[in-house]
A and B are shown apart, each in its own frame.
Chain A
């Protein structure tokens, strides 16, 4: 059996009396694009900081490539040669030029030259003119792109990204996704932390969902989609029909001519039913993280409730 690329075991962190992370355990296989989902304050950034040895765990450990990295060990520094990292709140040396900054961070990995830098600069449209400017003169989006190049220029074996698309315009977000896919195709493992579900859904094969420092789900995207409860809002010309018995409807809420449906899984049966009615308006947005959390919490509470 292959050793997982990244393994978290019982990872726990407290800040004074507040539990930032509670007994989190999971593993990520080599070559996987792994999503780490959770609302702001769930403990995603704390997890990344624990993995990288920036904060000390109260309990538990992290192994990367089969070697312990946290709590820090003799191998920690050597392991970090093979990692890439983009922090969620990126700060760069403001007085340096972008070019000097890329060179500065590249020199920390003498055994791993920045072989991917040119490819990334081209993809992110960072030309020589931009690279000669001081960081303080660059826009937020350009700084984020520089941060991505720093994280990926040495083509890391394991890349950690904390909210990487913050500040990127939609075109650059697409470019970024392409670059991540290309990196993964070359064998890299990607650990992608985000609070935007659609972003993770498009890119990741498997996700962990975190809430209030607790791991509430570890699923493949396919399974997550099946379990997702999505909200559909419909407005009818007349009083809304009773659709509660249609397969896939979890529950419904009617008000005047408006009907809100909570739908799970296949919606074909519902669409067939709706074809028989005169619809004025239909909204079927991307599922919200909170809806997914609600689903998992609902299940947990049900399984935790004592049998009557």
Chain B
């Protein structure tokens, strides 16, 4: 057991050294983005500005964004929307896809997996370490987003409209969403020898999911498809409005993460290297 811990910490140390500049940049951007949104809400008359913009849109567009705007056309809504912003999703998904694709396919593509697994490392230890690192990274990044909110709200006198603990269930939901992306990507990674191909397919999966959610809202005839996008199971606006933890959505996303990760795990344990 002690040997396994030493080996795992060796792998973790290398993962950290390899990724920390990129992860630190993403973390600071996510934190800064939350502070920036607080600064905007604290200094601009958002409600007036957004209402003017909405009224200038064609009626069908107004219908489409009405649900979002019901909440968003307020300082409170905009702060919450910052947790569902495409930029936030892009950054977090990029991190999770990068970690999962490099864990197996990237390491094989680089030619280093053969030398690594010839060392006294079990595949189980290897993949557990990779997954622990991904979970720790995600907790840290979402923690930095929470940190940004916790810093931004008092800094711009916004405590009266929102308190930061409201974001805890949002953070849990976001965590489960990103872990689902990690699980699916890990499965793709376990099937491939090329990290680039895994990244492309995983990005397509995320992008199509994201676009599908938007299209479903625009086009009620295909509303039945809304259940087939992972973003349907993450809605910070609804969480804040209802002020409850969406356990059903969280369980669904965690289940997807476990199924994807588990399938990836099983495939990796069976597959030939390279």
Partner of B118, one of A80, A89, A91, A95: A80
Also in contact, A150 and B118, with CB within 8 A (given A55-B273, A56-B272): no
Are A109's CB and B273's CB within 8 A? no
Whole-angstrom distance between the Cβ of A44 and the nearest chain B Cβ: 14
Also in contact, A49 and B114, with CB within 8 A (given A77-B122, A95-B18): yes
Q: Which of A203-237 contact B (CB under 8 A)?
A: none
Whole-angstrom distance between the Cβ of B133 and the nearest chain A Cβ: 16
Are A111's CB and B114's CB within 8 A? no
Segment of A29-37, A100-108, A167-175 in the binding face: A100-108
Q: Note all chain A residues with C-beta closer than 8 A to B121.
A: 77, 80, 108
Also in contact, A54 and B273, with CB within 8 A (given A78-B120, A110-B6): yes
Q: Note all chain B residues with C-beta closer than 8 A to A56.
A: 270, 272
Partner of A52, one of B10, B118, B122, B270: B118
A residues contacting the other copy or chain, number (CB 8 A):
29
Q: Note all chain A residues with C-beta closer than 8 A to B270.
A: 56
- Identify the closest chain A residue to B274 (Cβ): A54
Q: What mask results when residues 111 to 129 of chain B are scored 1 for a CB within 8 Å of chain A, else 0?
A: 1101101111110010000
Partner of B114, one of A80, A83, A87, A150: A87
Partner of A54, one of B2, B112, B117: B117
A90 at the interface (CB under 8 A from B): yes
A55 and B269 CA atoms in complex are apart in Å by 10
Whole-angstrom distance between the Cβ of B102 and the nearest chain A Cβ: 12
Are B115's CB and A91's CB within 8 A? yes
Q: Classify the interface of chain A: helix, strand, loop or mixed.
A: loop
Are B110's CB and A91's CB within 8 A? yes
Are B117's CB and A77's CB within 8 A? no
Whole-angstrom distance between the Cβ of B197 and the nearest chain A Cβ: 19
Also in contact, A55 and B272, with CB within 8 A (given A89-B111, A92-B112): yes
A304 and B115 CA atoms in complex are apart in Å by 42
Add 17 more A-B contacts to A49-B114, A108-B121, A110-B7 (CB < 8 A). Answer: A49-B272, A54-B114, A54-B118, A54-B272, A55-B273, A56-B272, A77-B125, A80-B119, A80-B120, A90-B111, A91-B115, A92-B115, A93-B112, A104-B14, A105-B115, A107-B6, A107-B7
Residues of B within 8 A of A (CB): 2-3, 6-7, 10, 14, 18, 110-112, 114-115, 117-122, 125, 270, 272-274
- 19 A-B contacts (beta carbon < 8 Å): A49-B114, A49-B272, A52-B117, A53-B117, A55-B272, A56-B270, A77-B122, A77-B125, A83-B118, A89-B114, A91-B110, A92-B112, A92-B115, A93-B110, A93-B112, A105-B115, A107-B7, A108-B10, A110-B6
